[in-house]
Structure 1
């Protein structure tokens, strides 16, 4: 019980600290829609911050900086879900690198996503499978789509504090109620971790680009 209490105290302290840090940068997801330029962090700034961090871009808007507020276990899959936060309360939740929920984004928000493969890991071999989305506004529930995934090659990526050899995985998403297809792309390092992605959490409506700056260690 004492360990649990200590963990709660640390989480509150971390959340307060990371939120204050983002406020100090003056960059938030909602503010990005008012025409701000891309955020540019330095290597020293990212390394000095004691939190995992990412760059995020929503629907081709300016790039913003977000930090990890919470990491918790999804009891259905056993995977760790990471909750990335901006100072105005916008949140992007990822599991195995896939966006599985968003909160307080300006226009559209993903409530839940389920796949026929319950672990959400982008596939490193060609395969086809099903995915289902719940999203707002409008309470769109169980909007299903077919996904065709394939590895299209290898690519060397360089970020602020790392350089990695990656496998590039492409997913072609075709909603059941549409003939239009959408492409998500994931870059996985040699340990299978997603270090960069351009993905459609809600086909047609919500595209999010993520780049890991300081990885979550666990």
Structure 2
């Protein structure tokens, strides 16, 4: 965690010295419940100059926040890379093949873990179905089983601050049969199979995270 904080401190002081108030707003955005603050909107040149991969994220339709890639790990179960995105007050969103698999230090609900019968494969344009298992808090919800049905929606052009790409829109409908609840995830996937934009429900009716990739991770 010390390395993560140091990396973010360098990010703020070296590259965003002119935006200190905006980063104070990011702190408040997360720690005070994501209400009442404006979107964080950085300039194209600022993001391009950063030595970090970065994303915009939006939690429960609150203000847009800026997060940087602080750490890359490997899931020992799936063998996939996990990307850990950090906000200025150490809230974290962990993604695997573009899917959010864990959240840390969000002010309300947090996804503790996500596992899948597909080993968390990346979204693709094939119509198919599989099983997921969700853990979340508060409420000590563990091992909540869900059926996932995926289908293509169509093709289109997706634009971000630094790029414009042709993408496939993939929709997944997640049903919790024992809870009588359902939620929907949308992914926009580029020609390399990378998720560049998404809107993902992680806790039914409680936790929605929207992500837009600004500067993608490159090994």
Q: TM-score, normalised by structure 1?
A: 0.89
CA distance in 2, matches of 1:173, 1:34: 27
Unaligned stretches of 5+ in structure 2?
Answer: none
Indicate the larger mover: 123-132 or 91-100: 123-132
Q: Who is 1:113 aligned against?
A: 114
Q: Does 1:128 align with 2:129?
A: yes
Distance apart, 1:34 and its partner CA: 3.6
Q: Does 1:17 align with 2:18?
A: no
CA RMSD, 1 decimal: 2.2
CA distance in 2, matches of 1:179, 1:139: 18
CA distance in 2, matches of 1:42, 1:48: 10
Q: Who is 2:43 aligned against?
A: 42
Are the equivalent residues in 1 in contact too, given 2:149–2:174 (CA < 8 A)? yes
Distance apart, 1:75 and its partner CA: 2.0
CA distance in 2, matches of 1:154, 1:196: 13
SS in 1 for 2:56: strand
Deviations 1:98-135 (A, max 9, x none): 00000000100011111110133113200011111011
Q: Who is 1:3 aligned against?
A: none
Q: Describe the shift of the 1:158–1:32 C-alpha distance in structure 2 as closer, same or farther (beyond 3 A).
A: farther
The aligned length equals 211
CA distance in 2, matches of 1:10, 1:76: 25
Indicate the larger mover: 117-126 or 30-39: 30-39
Deviations 1:148-196 (A, max 9, x none): 1001100101111111000000001111223332110000000000000
Distance apart, 1:32 and its partner CA: 6.1
Q: Who is 1:153 aligned against?
A: 154
Q: TM-score, normalised by structure 2?
A: 0.89
Distance apart, 1:14 and its partner CA: 2.9
Are the equivalent residues in 2 in contact too, given 1:93–1:101 (CA < 8 A)? yes
